Amino acid sequence: MTLALPEFTGKILSVARLPPPAPTPVDWNNSIFRIQCVLPVQFPNGNFPIFSSGVAGHGTLLFVTIMPGNRIRFGVDQWGYGGGNSQVLEVAPDTTHTIEIFYGPLAGAARWPSSWRLDAQALGALNHTLNVWLDGKRVWSFGLAQIDVLPTDSVVDIGANTRGFSTAQGEFPGQLDNTFIPEPEAAEFVRRNLGSQ
């Protein structure tokens, strides 16, 4: 590099680390997820990313494990905290499935329309919960160990493991679409999660 000298030649008077910015409330559309996909049952014994939030070193990954015989299970990996797995589920092959995700850390920071009249206390009780729904049925509820919510948690990927979690492949094989949830259905989905505690 010829654009800069190898050392700073001035005088540094002080060094201080700035506090992290306060979490910014996210829009409700970015805190619940509806994913349409065909599960890759042709790749048994593979772990494939469904949803991830945060950054490398501080993030959460939801993945699906493909098992022989058209069976799957969901798994969570929280960076530095470990994770867990759901029960084994049987799925129809070559069928479009709907995976819906209620991610408590983002849902707790979301700006929900006042017309929905959500119970703030009940919503707060789900702050550290990840609920996974498959084809309209809740198949897993996982208690998140991570207790600190950072602004970077709103950095979300669908079908990709860009943060480099060791528990899943880099991307979901095949088509996986994060579909828009219309407001009446979004309100109903949030209420469904509040009622499933």
Mind listing the domains of the chain with CATH numbers? Answer: 42-194 (2.60.120)
Residue in 92, 84, 96 with CA at minimum distance from that of residue 60: 84
Q: How many CB atoms lie within 10 A of CB 24?
A: 8
In eight-state DSSP terms, residue 40 is -
Residue in 17, 46, 51, 22 with CA at minimum distance from that of residue 34: 51
Q: Does the pLDDT of residue 17 top 80, yes or no?
A: no
Q: Which residues pair with 67 in a beta bridge?
A: 71
The single residue listed with the structure tokens 């079908």 is 159
Cα–Cα distance for residue pair 62/55, rounded to 1 Å: 14
Long-range Cβ contact pairs of 145-150 (< 8 A, separation 24 or more): 145/78, 145/81, 145/82, 146/58, 146/60, 146/78, 146/81, 146/105, 149/23, 149/105, 149/108, 149/109, 150/20, 150/23, 150/54, 150/58
pTM: 0.83
Residue pLDDT, tens place only, 90-110: 999 999 999 999 999 888 888
How many residues are given for the chain?
Answer: 197
The single residue listed with the structure tokens 């850390």 is 105
Q: Does the pLDDT of residue 19 top 70, yes or no?
A: no
Residue pLDDT, tens place only, 62-77: 999 999 999 999 999 9
Residue pLDDT, tens place only, 50-61: 999 988 888 999
Q: What pLDDT, on the 0 to 100 scale, is given for residue 1?
A: 44
Structure token pair of residue 90: 């049987």
